[in-house]
Structure formats: structure tokens, C-alpha cells
Homo-oligomer: A and B are copies of this chain.
Amino acid sequence: MSTGPTKLGELGLENFVPYLMNRIMGRYNAALQDEMAALGLTTPQMRSLAVLSVIDGILIRELAVYAVVQQSTLSRALEALHKDGLIRRETDAADSRAIRVFLTNPGRDVYERLWPHMADAYEAMFKGVDDAAQKAFVATLKTMLGNIRKHDF
């Protein structure tokens, strides 16, 4: 398939990677919907907390890329997280127009309650996929992201 599929009908929907990835991510998000709702979080808010749990103090424009959320949507999500005391914002020391975002302790607590459900959904996805296949899968995803990303991270 290195020359690309010629027709979707020939390839089959069930072999078309964007279709498969959409279906899987749709189910992954749906699986977390109840837990997010119980914590009063939307998907952009959950993703922001997850990214901040790994890269705290990130610039808002970087967070938008990592969380795959448009700036306007992210602004609303951060406003809500700030109002609930889950994040704090600081002007960047070097650039007064850039804002950095940090998890507060309550924000980290909320994320810690969410994570086991994210881990469960993750594990459910990979049932019957052995470690070697999973490693190869992640390696291919990394190559793919490297191929098409616009940012250096």
C-alpha cells in the first residue's frame, strides 16, 4: 500500500486507518464520558489536565497543540478550570504576552481521580495485543505523527 489506496471501496472501510482511528477514539472518549461528567469536566478540560499532569507550566499555545484543541475552545476550557480552582495562570518571565498554565493541588487531585479510568480504557483497548505488537504499534504512531505534525513537538 506504499502507493496509497486507489479507492476506498477496494481497500474497504474496515482497512482504512483514519476510519479505524476515528471509531476507536470515539469509543475511548465515550468510555470516559461518565467519569468526566461526574467530575464536571468536558473533553478539552480533561485533555488539558492530562497534558498538565505531564508538562506543568506549559505555554497556552503549546497546550493547544498537545491537547489538540482550538485556541478559542481551549480558552473557554481554561477559564472554567481556573474558576474551579484547578489551574493557575502566570505571565511568562521572558514574554509578557505569553501565558503559562499550572495545575493547582485540587487540579492534580481531580486528574488523579480521572487517571485510573483513562488507564482502564487504555487497557481495555489493548486486550489481546501482546507487548511486542503494542510496542510496534506505538512506534508506527510516532513515525506517523513525525510525518504530519506541523510543530516540533
Contacts and interface: CB of A to CB of B under 8 A. Distances in A.
Interface in A115-130: 115, 118-130
Given A27-B149, A28-B148, A120-B4, A21 B18 contact: no
A21 to B, nearest CB: 5
A13 B131 contact: no
A133 B136 CA distance: 8
Contact of A140 (B15, B26, B137): B137
A148 B54 contact: no
Nearest to A153: B14
A124 to B, nearest CB: 6
A147 interface: yes
Given A4-B119, A24-B141, 17 more contacts: A1-B134, A7-B115, A8-B53, A9-B53, A13-B54, A13-B55, A14-B142, A17-B126, A17-B141, A18-B118, A21-B24, A26-B68, A27-B145, A27-B149, A127-B147, A129-B140, A134-B140
13 contacts: A1-B134, A4-B120, A9-B53, A9-B54, A18-B118, A19-B50, A20-B142, A20-B144, A23-B145, A127-B147, A128-B143, A133-B136, A133-B140
Interface of A: 1-9, 12-28, 31, 47, 50-51, 53-55, 66, 68, 115, 118-131, 133-134, 136-138, 140-145, 147-150
